[in-house]
Structure 1
Amino acid sequence: MKKSELRKIQINKLKRFAKTEDKKIEDTILLKKLMESDLIKNSQTIGITASLPLEVDTSEVIAHLWDEGKEVYLAKAENDQDHTLNFFHYTYMSKLKKSSFGVEEIADPDAMVNNHLDLVIVPGLAFALDSHVRLGFGGGYYDRFLAKYNPKTVSLVNSQMQFQHAEWPVENTDIPVQTLITTETH
């Protein structure tokens, strides 16, 4: 299946799932598993995206990271030809604005940028459990960032985002996520 076709299917599936109680339950499980992980314990600077309603809710993750004394950096896709992604220091005092993608981003152009992060929580629409490749939203922002900076990576993967194998074409520019946190109990 083409990536563009699967993206449409996944976006619709995730929008429907976002209206259910199951999504809230799964978000809570994923948050708990992430916060209890060594990845969080061993990281001080953490990059994250402000989630869209169809994604795993990152607002609780961010609040917990602040409570743990972690430095949080919010992703911002730059409107350039290179599809650059930068991470801006994010505190409870930061002012946010919606990007053209509908994602909340830091509004202050003078906010500190840190792209050399201990950990990046990578968003996506679909994840292959066997290879850890992901299907993102299609701009290549994260793959370019990960290829350039090579941070530790983790993704929060609810039941609707899980695929046993990639059912989409995987290109050599697609960077697998190192750790997938799922709602499964093993």
Structure 2
Amino acid sequence: MDKLKLRASIQAARAAIPDGARHAASTQIRESLLDQPWVQMAGLVACYWSTGAEPATHGLVLALWKHGATVILPVLRDDNDLDWAVYDGPDTLAPGRFGIMEPIDTRRGVDAVRTAALVIVPALAVDRSTGVRLGRGGGSYDRALARVGPNVPTVALLHEGELLDGVPAEPHDLPVRYAATPEGIFRTGTAGPA
């Protein structure tokens, strides 16, 4: 299946998830992540503010911030690259391009993600064996992932059934090391849970 068909199929499946089930799944993902020592020890976390039918990150961002992590969220630039700014509580967000909530703090630059100890990204699907993620097609997160060090945990948040045995990939598509689903956290390239 090509990327466009797979994107459309996953987006349709996500739209059909009832709100209650979506909320429960997001809560499971958040709690599984917060139980991981490598999440608990991350002093600077790059995350994102979820929209639509994505697994919700609002509670995760708030929990990380309340537990003392510095959380940076993306600010979409005109060239579709990601700048970053510090989240300092729910009252420090404002709608950005396309209505996505962004921090109103000083922009830290596209390279700010290099200093993160944990990077959490959106995805529509992740290939179980390679870690290649299927995004929405803009390339923003592939550019950000290219700036992340090789030993930094990178995690894509997925709904059930979105960790797949095969995702179409192009040379610019970059892998993530983990996929977090309602069933648990899986290290890509392995057969089971992280």
Match of 1:48 in 2: 47
One-letter code aligned to 2:11: I
Partner of 2:183, secondary structure, is coil
Cα distance between partner residues in 1 of 2:19 and 2:128 = 24
- Asked whether 1:105 is paired with 2:105, we answer no
Deviations 1:21-73 (A, max 9, x none): 22222111111100011221221100111101210100000111112111010
- Contact kept? 2:93, 2:101, Cα under 8 Å: no
Cα distance between partner residues in 1 of 2:108 and 2:34 = 25
One-letter code aligned to 1:154: V
| 1:184 CA drift (Å) | 2.5
- Contact kept? 1:154, 1:178, Cα under 8 Å: yes
Match of 1:94 in 2: 92
Partner of 2:119, secondary structure, is strand
Cα distance between partner residues in 2 of 1:121 and 1:95 = 18
Deviates more, 1:48-57 or 1:85-94: 85-94
Where has structure 1 moved over 4 Å in runs of 4 or more?
none
| 1:111 CA drift (Å) | 4.2
Q: Give the unaligned 5+ runs of structure 1.
A: none
- Asked whether 1:157 is paired with 2:154, we answer no
Cα distance between partner residues in 2 of 1:95 and 1:26 = 24
Using CA pairs under 8 Å that are at least 6 residues apart, name the structure with larger relative contact order, 1 or 2.
1
| 1:155 CA drift (Å) | 1.8
The correspondence of residues 123-142 of structure 1 with structure 2, limited to 5 A, is 123-142=122-141
Match of 1:177 in 2: 176
- Contact kept? 1:125, 1:134, Cα under 8 Å: yes
User: TM-score, normalization: structure 1?
Assistant: 0.87
Count, aligned residues: 179
- Contact kept? 1:51, 1:57, Cα under 8 Å: yes
Cα distance between partner residues in 1 of 2:92 and 2:140 = 23
| 1:98 CA drift (Å) | 3.6
Q: Give the unaligned 5+ runs of structure 2.
A: 185-192
Match of 2:60 in 1: 61
Cα distance between partner residues in 1 of 2:93 and 2:56 = 19
Percent sequence identity is: 27
Deviations 1:122-156 (A, max 9, x none): 10111122222110011111111111233431122
RMSD: 1.8
